[in-house]
Structure 1
């Protein structure tokens, strides 16, 4: 065998070994990143990953699926979905294609008012399971405090008893104290989480105090202020970010987790997905947390009154 042939074979073997090394490192990295996400204990004894990926307002199902796959490759295991987001089918496909065991995932989704409008809650849950291609949902929310959510909750309790749902939660129930009390004080199974808008400019202190006696976790949507330019260029946060060699978004997400919240930033850009999970290799000091807390000005970015929202969605029926 000539020297030229030996060199050719050597190069081929070297490239193959390099490829295997890259695959191995990538797989280990994803597993390691998954391991770094803290678990947060719920009031029913279960634990869920504190950080997840949100799927609200993704323009197409194809983009949603690739975002989920990219999130899984980078260690995310908690996904927040909803029937109205129209991503459940591709989320189910992504879970299967990832090759990751179902029990490693924490899948949350939400019932839209039309899902329980005619006493069809249990049927809607079965359809949700079909879309997700799974036998159980880890956390099922009532999406809005609209319609007969009390009857819906009682049916959701039956789904828990049947093993189709593991935990129950309420979303946007900060809009009505009556609705909050009806569920929290009147139902057999208590919510494990309340999902609302929360970020450094709207820290929701009143709601945090309200849910504290019940051991309800605050889960934050719009955690980065829905991309608000002022928040994402805030000079006080930038000073902290520069000190840790991190981005402003990473500092904001770290603030969320150190406050004890669950946080579900939405992202479809692979760079943002990777950035969002790299927040557990630094810690904000007490002084830095004090600076972050001082930024609160009760500035919400979603301000549609519940009465207007009810008119907007009262006749909105979703496809299966």
Structure 2
């Protein structure tokens, strides 16, 4: 598995397995087990996904040494603030039933995320978390954050795919040596991505699918990708992307697909921000 070195020296597999929208614990554990057998060594979950227990269970049942599986989880908005975040970090560790978490992220750039970050920094120094980062931070928010905190984030996990390419964000992240991870690298299935004529035509050159081309495009940009599927065949296909690279003509054709905005989420929308604050994952 191809890896990237984060700014604190930790190695992270560049392709991981996402478990968003798989809240059923048995199903989640089953598909994670399939992914681990297929060769994935990076599992991405979150407190808000409600399946941390399944991630830990699948890793333990796999028989793989703990150090061979990279586990990411995320702190939800409800638990932002220093004291609440300290408690929530321990809750994640308990649900995962692990001694440490490889990467722990602030899930959204809202609320008291500076106070929460202090708790992440503390857990990082204590060895409970091997790397800390953020998610869904837009360019100006990422720059402000990096200029404010004591320990720089290692990762910013954001929406990025051929239809929302985020070159401005990649430039800011590079300036601060923050790795970019792509959630929704398939654009949540929008824009006909799985049969898109441009991606399909490029794929035909390499004997690959449009989905595999979309993943390879982000990998070639140095982006960490987190494809999600509950279908065994697609789980296996999504990891079969390390035997080809796109040429400059391919990249130019994909660059022309960029819409420059998201049609999935909008962090500039006050109603969306209000929803983030109101969404509760526990009493």
The TM-score with structure 1 as length reference comes to 0.84
CA–CA separation in structure 1 for the residues paired with 2:119 and 2:82? 12
Listed one character per residue, the Cα deviations across residues 137-184 of structure 1 (whole Å, up to 9, x for unaligned) are 11110001111110110111010111001111111111x73x434421
Distance 1:104 1:268, change over 3 A: same
CA contact (8 A) 1:223 1:263 kept: yes
Corresponding position: 1:284 with 2:220: no
CA–CA separation in structure 2 for the residues paired with 1:166 and 1:149? 19
* Segment drifting more, 104-113 vs 301-310: 301-310
* Segment drifting more, 110-119 vs 206-215: 110-119
Query: Residues 183-222 of structure 1 correspond to what in structure 2 (within 5 A)?
Result: 183-222=145-184
Please list every run of 5 or more consecutive structure 2 residues that lacks an aligned counterpart in the other structure. none
Match of 2:231 among 264, 269, 292: 269
Instruction: Give the length in aligned residue pairs.
Output: 282
CA–CA separation in structure 2 for the residues paired with 1:145 and 1:305? 9
CA contact (8 A) 1:77 1:106 kept: yes
SS in 2 for 1:230: helix
Listed one character per residue, the Cα deviations across residues 207-254 of structure 1 (whole Å, up to 9, x for unaligned) are 111111111111111101111252222212111111111111011101
CA–CA separation in structure 2 for the residues paired with 1:317 and 1:285? 45
CA–CA separation in structure 2 for the residues paired with 1:286 and 1:310? 38
Please list every run of 5 or more consecutive structure 1 residues that lacks an aligned counterpart in the other structure. 1-36
Q: Larger Rg: 1 or 2?
A: 1
| Match of residue 115 from structure 1 | 79
CA RMSD of aligned residues (A): 1.6
Query: Residues 27-46 of structure 1 correspond to what in structure 2 (within 5 A)?
Result: 37-46=1-10
Query: Residues 1-320 of structure 1 correspond to what in structure 2 (within 5 A)?
Result: 37-117=1-81, 119-174=83-138, 177=140, 179-306=141-268, 307-319=270-282
The TM-score with structure 2 as length reference comes to 0.95
CA contact (8 A) 1:51 1:262 kept: yes
State the Cα distance separating 1:118 from its structure 2 match. 7.0
State the Cα distance separating 1:313 from its structure 2 match. 3.3
CA–CA separation in structure 2 for the residues paired with 1:316 and 1:291? 39
